[in-house]
Amino acid sequence: NERNTYKIAVIAGDGIGQETVPEGLKVLSAAARLFDIGLDFEEHDFASCDYYARHGEMMPGDWKSRIIDSDAIFFGAVGWPDTVPDHVSLWGSLLKFRREFDQYANLRPVRLMPGVPCPLAGKSPGDIDFWVVRENTEGEYSSIGGKIFEGTDRETVMQETVMTRQGVDRILRYAFEIAERTERKTLTSATKSNGISITMPYWDERVLEMAKSFPDIAVDKYHIDILTALFVLKPERFNVVVASNLFGDILSDLGPACTGTIGIAPSGNINPTRTFPSLFEPVHGSAPDIAGQGIANPVGQIWCGAMMLDHLGHPEAASAVVAAIESVLSDPERRTSDLGGEADTRGCGDAVLEALEKHV
């Protein structure tokens, strides 16, 4: 019986990352033991503002060679605005990972969990359960453009959207492949081909083309304006939603917000070709206002661990961790105070661990 061993680069970063990452590792270690998966954690102190204070930069010059051989990166949060401006800490760390490791897919689950108050009326756990897949490298977020006649009446600014066949096709293929692994086998494409008359019709065209390779997936598309309305009005209908960089940015915040889970939501920055490691991080930041108090909710971090296990090819371990999270969230004694619970960070992490061991 062959046992896979994966090398995981662990970067806790700043603030509550220091408190949530140990809980994530605790649960990951237990899942590894229960499902016979080898996880080799290698912790790094860079990509943090403490590192910056000591070295004058966010990461060492050889950061890339130190983590490029990892199978995945398990990341906490970065940012400590009192000492390092956010654009310095972000551009000096996370954005470098995303670019240099070509993490072209941003993946976020949207799932209504028990114990989490849903801002949408009349929805219960099970009603909302889908994925948002965002293109993470091109599209509307290009640096192509410029400014002329600055400071005059003719002042003119322009910024171009860049869609390459490679860039569009690879994100679509990734999203279709996720849809194929789901039961519902449906995929929704976000577009705006009525208003954006060149790039978005191209996007639609590539969706149709890609759909030919996935005959068992039912595809639909919505313009982004009505799509945002449907996220709120009829979230039940979605399974996998794929979107360009800008639309995906919006949808990947709106989706989790509709389930009340921004604070516990995980995300993956994925390099689907597996040429480089993918990075898993909670959606929340370093939360300086509560850092060091031991009260941060560790669920976003733990859920990241589940996504990472899934990415590594262990969906059964991933589902077990998500099930353990669900059981803990449904119990006020085991969830943290941000969700009206009584547990502290460690207590909540221990509870997930216990639920996991019981479940398996």
Q: Which residues bind ligand NAI (CB under 6 A)?
A: 16, 77-79, 81, 86, 94, 263, 281, 284-290, 296-297, 300, 338
Give the residue numbers annotated as catalytic, written as ranges.
141, 192, 225, 249, 253
Closer residue to ligand NAI (CB): 109 or 200: 109
Strands 72-77, 278-282: pairing is: parallel
Q: What is the smallest separation between the CB atom of 310 and ligand NAI, expressed in angstroms?
A: 20
Contact present, 272 and 136 (Cβ < 8 Å): no
- Segment contacting Mg ion (CB under 5 A): 21-29, 55-63, 236-244, 247-255? 247-255
Question: Nearer Cβ to Mg ion, position 249 or 326?
Answer: 249
Least distance (Å) from ligand NAI to the CB of residue 110?
18
Least distance in angstroms from the C-beta of 315 to ligand NAI: 25
Which of Mg ion, ligand NAI, none interacts with 249 (beta carbon under 5 to 8 A by kind)? Mg ion
CA distance 344 to 349: 9
User: Taking CB within 5 to 8 Å according to partner kind, which of Mg ion, ligand NAI, none is near residue 263?
Assistant: ligand NAI
Nearest CA to 80 among 178, 5, 14? 14
Interatomic CA distance for residues 115 and 127, integer angstroms: 14
Of 16 and 343, which CB lies nearer to ligand NAI in the complex structure? 16
- The distance of closest approach from Cβ of residue 195 to ligand NAI in the complex, given in angstroms and rounded to an integer, is 30
Does position 249 interact with Mg ion (CB under 5 A)? The reply is yes
Q: Which is nearer to ligand NAI, 62 or 289 (CB)?
A: 289
Q: Is the separation of the CB atoms in 231 and 135 below 8 Å?
A: no
CB distance 110 to 132 below 8 Å: yes
Q: 105 or 219, CB closer to Mg ion?
A: 105
Structure tokens at 157: 């600014």
DSSP string, 18-79: HHHHHHHHHHHHHHHHHTT-EEEEEEE--SSHHHHHHHSSSS-TTHHHHHTT-SEEEEEE--
Look at residue 224 and give the partner it binds from Mg ion, ligand NAI, none, a contact being a CB closer than 5 to 8 Å depending on partner kind. none
Distance of CA 116 to the CA centre of its chain: 19
By a kind-dependent CB cut-off of 5 to 8 A, residue 287 interacts, out of Mg ion, ligand NAI, none, with: ligand NAI
Residue with tokens 């941000």: 338
Q: Which residues of the chain form contacts with Mg ion (CB under 5 A)? A: 249
